[in-house]
Amino acid sequence: MGRVVPVGVSDLEQRGINVIRGLAMDAPQRANSGHPGTAMALAPLAHVLWTRVMSYDASEPDWPDRDRFILSAGHASILLYSMLYLTGFGLELADIEAFRQWGSRTPGHPERHHTKGVEVTTGPLGQGFGNGVGMGIAERWLRARFGPDLCDHHTFVICSDGDLEEGVSHEAASLAGHLGLGRLVYVYDDNHITIDGDTELAYSDNVPERFRAYGWDVDDIGEVANDCDALEAALLRAKAVEDKPSLIVLRSHIGYPSPKFTDTADAHGNPLGEDEIRVTKELLGLPADKQFWVPDDVLAMYREAGLRGDGRRRAWDRSQAALTNERDAFEACLTGHGLAGWETKLPTWQPGEKVATRVASGKVIEAILDVVPGLIGGGADLTGNTGTVIKEGVQGANEPGGRQVYFGIREHGMAAAMNGAAMHGGVIPVGGTFFVFSDYMKPAVRLAAISGAHAVFVWTHDSVGLGEDGPTHQPIEQLAGLRAIPQLRLLRPADANETAQAWRVAIDDDMPVGLVLSRQALPVLEGTAGNEGVLRGAYVLERGADHPDLVLIGTGSEVHLCVAAAALLRAEDGITVRVVSMPSWDLFEEQEEAYRDEVLPVEVPTLAVEAGASLGWDRWADDVVALDRFGSSAPGSEALAKLGFSPENVAERARELLADLQEEE
């Protein structure tokens, strides 16, 4: 292999591309960990994107009208870090040298909020692909709502064979094509290599035809990975497509120009080794005996490119400053919250009414649409069932300002798109499905928590109380599993009024929120209307006495059982009972110890009641009426009663707990 010959670039640009390749080799070698090959192959593409195509201002990384870039192939993170360093987003060469080390700003996969310029957290393949679709939805909606002077940009995504093999990409690509989302420019890095070896071992899809069938514009540009003019032309053609998403299929050669590892699986996930790096640097015209070499003129070229969006950003600043009648709405959208005082629009219900919490949630959405202007979304083919109806137009090419998104039967794609929309900013995405199908969403929900994506997941039909559909649709372990995710706000409200307060958390918080709601109607309880105890995760619903004999803790649909069981225990046994509603473990955990002890006195026996797995309840209770088996097909009320969720059984279990504790004394 001879010296690398530049195509469509000046000598300075080619040296810049080779510097990127040098960093892509040196950082994984220093870390003894990482993926150099893709970054080496795509260095020309990155150069073209950051110097010729994308509109951004590195001095203002969070400028709302910047073009977005997603590295769905997050294993190639060193490519992104190299560009963020070179173009001036705040990374220093020392950060590149600390690649994949403890506390560094350059972790193994890109992490939002951790590194300036990283738009989304990627690594689990396919997720970034879905995020891009959500960003396209958010951009189009904001442009329709506020005009192109305030929102007028594109989303660029680099995806890999692995992204396209993962099922979430199929769901998201189908949704994007159906919606006719323009301004999405995806580059498929068709390098024919996975960790196991050649993609032909397991993958023979006709990708261009697959995406044409989804309704995408497809440009198969072939062997031009080192031709910067051809790359630029393809990207600009795709940028001009307004009525459908675009896929550019680029045949690249992983590890190029390494003589030993080009087009091999070894270049995918392993450092090249010092000897091979030396040989490759000689081919590139880089100093073979220097690591992390960035000459001043190359750095100056990229730093100048990083500021070329300054004029457009300043024009946007002027447009925002000139905004008058829509200013409050626009600022509420940008911050991801409601208008000042929005919570006064929350509905309340009277004690004695019977309302499913999913229905109450739907009423809340209907009531707050005008005062939470960025709220958009819908359901995964369960829009009416989950109370996620938004009667303000159906999002699509013919109605880009529509707030109702029909996600179709695509729970995983829905969640990934919600994350992208949330991380884009300007909207608060809501998406609903049955709670048991949160399993289909779990990878994206986990990433929402890692990323701090302000998305609202509405999960309904939350227990065996959903009834006849049986154990395949009756969630048992889902609450425990989702509670184990750090930084996910999870609430299971007891009645309609608690549901309204749960929405206060969903709108006012800046993290992902899961609302776990009932299919069946639940009685509206005394003392829940406007009760801000929900905001603290748990509160005393019925005090009983300053020093009760027993505390009953309930969540969701089991709180009213605790109230009824407390009445039985008082009437039949003379036991003083405190009833605590605990809609959110994580919120309660965040309260000061004095408040937690006030709600749950340490010395008082405590019985929890929840129609789900018992795992974790020993943190809060001495015993729990729970469900550590799958449910059964039957009417919901019968299924609950047969499985022990009745006032009588709760009262009996309370008596047994008190008796057991007395014996121990």
How much is the pLDDT for 546? 87
The CA distance from 619 to 592, in Å, is 16
Longest alpha-carbon distance in the chain: 93
pLDDT along the chain (665 residues), means of 10: 69 98 98 98 98 98 98 98 98 98 98 98 98 98 97 98 98 98 98 94 97 98 98 98 98 98 95 98 97 98 97 97 94 97 98 97 98 98 97 96 98 98 98 98 98 98 97 98 98 98 98 98 97 97 94 98 98 97 98 98 97 98 98 97 98 97 80
Q: How far apart are CA 395 and CA 316, in angstroms?
A: 26
**pTM exceeds 0.95 for this model:** yes
Active site (annotated) includes residue 542: no
CATH number for the segment(s) 11-311: 3.40.50.970
The total of other beta-carbon atoms located within 10 Å of residue 144's CB is 16
* Architecture of the structural domain at 536-664: 3-Layer(aba) Sandwich (3.40)
DSSP state of 75: G
**CA end-to-end distance (rounded Å), the chain:** 83
Same CATH topology for 11-311 and 335-523? Answer: yes
Q: Which residues contact 521 (CB under 8 A, 6 or more apart)?
A: 354, 355, 356, 359
Catalytic position from the list 119, 166, 276, 411: 411
The domain limits of the chain are 11-311, 335-523, 536-664
Return the CATH number of 335-523, one of 3.40.190.100, 3.40.50.10190, 3.40.50.10320, 3.40.50.970: 3.40.50.970
| Residue 46 · residue 16 · CB < 8 Å | no
What's the token pair of residue 647? 């006032």
- Work out the angle between the directed axes of helices 127-146 and 167-179 (0-180°, nearest 10): 20
With 0-12 CB in 10 A as exposed, 13-18 as middle and 19+ as buried, what is 184?
Answer: buried
Quote the pLDDT of residue 317: 97
Specify the pLDDT at position 8: 83
Tell me the H-state helices in 285-377: 296-306, 310-321, 327-335, 357-368
